[in-house]
Amino acid sequence: MSFPNHEQFLQLAIFRLEDVCVRVQEGMESFMRTAALEKAAEIEATFRWLRRRGVKVCLLSDYDRETTGVLLNRLNWQVEEDRLVQLVITDYENQTNPIQRAMDLAGITSPRCVVLVADTPSLLRLGRTTGVFFNLGVTSGSRSYQALSGEPHRDLLDHPVQLPNYLLANLPDLDNKRPGHGGIPRLMLPIPFMGQ
């Protein structure tokens, strides 16, 4: 993998909507307008933290476009460039590679500029196949630590709210020359080494 220069930045964060970002009352998926919803702790703060640093947020939804729209409306999450969420891939399990699709829609060519926060073995495998550098499993979703520990991943987080601290601990530097939103430094990626 070649890079034109070392100034690569984290540009896209992909989250699985169901179970990582929000839990839908079990058995009520067909009744999305009235089902009980439980947002993951501080998920909106995590999105805001990423957005202030110029990172787009993409959600992968299990549901079709209409049902996903109802869910997002109930959460009061609009999908727009200047909102918490910029992209949504609906019915992602029926797509060949929803991670690549998200990258294409975001105009991103390097999977090293992407972080995936997923709770299923299939998404973690896709993250690896796609070459996502920060291919992270989250064990507070639909699968446990035991279920995800044998799958390809860079690290496992207990909750998505740990993502900002994880990134700060694993990124080499902040770029103060090219700030994200509100003058906050963007997240500079490590210079690639051979074999990465």
Q: Is 6 in contact with 113 (CB distance < 8 Å)?
A: no
Least confident segment among 117-121, 150-154, 172-176: 172-176
Task: Kindly state the average pLDDT of the residues 113-137.
Answer: 91
Q: Is 133 in contact with 119 (CB distance < 8 Å)?
A: no
For residues 186 and 83, the model is more confident at 83
Q: Encoding tokens for residue 33? A: 């307008």
Three-class HEC string of 173-188: EEEEEEECHHHCEEEE
d(CA 172, CA 65): 38
DSSP 146-168: HHHHTS--SEEESSGGGHHHHHH
How many helices (H) and strands (E) are present in the chain, helices listed first? 6, 10
Q: Is 151 in contact with 170 (CB distance < 8 Å)?
A: no
For residues 191 and 146, the model is more confident at 146
Choose the most confident range, by mean pLDDT, from 142-156, 159-173, 178-192: 159-173
Question: Which class would CATH give 12-187?
Answer: alpha beta
Q: What pTM does this model have?
A: 0.84
Mean pLDDT, all residues of the chain: 82
d(CA 80, CA 164): 22
Confidence of residue 194 (pLDDT cuts 50, 70, 90): very low
Kindly report, residue by residue over 160-180, the tens digit of the pLDDT: 899 999 998 887 655 444 445
Three-state DSSP state, 60? strand
Does the pLDDT of residue 184 top 60, yes or no?
no
Q: How many residues does the chain have?
A: 196
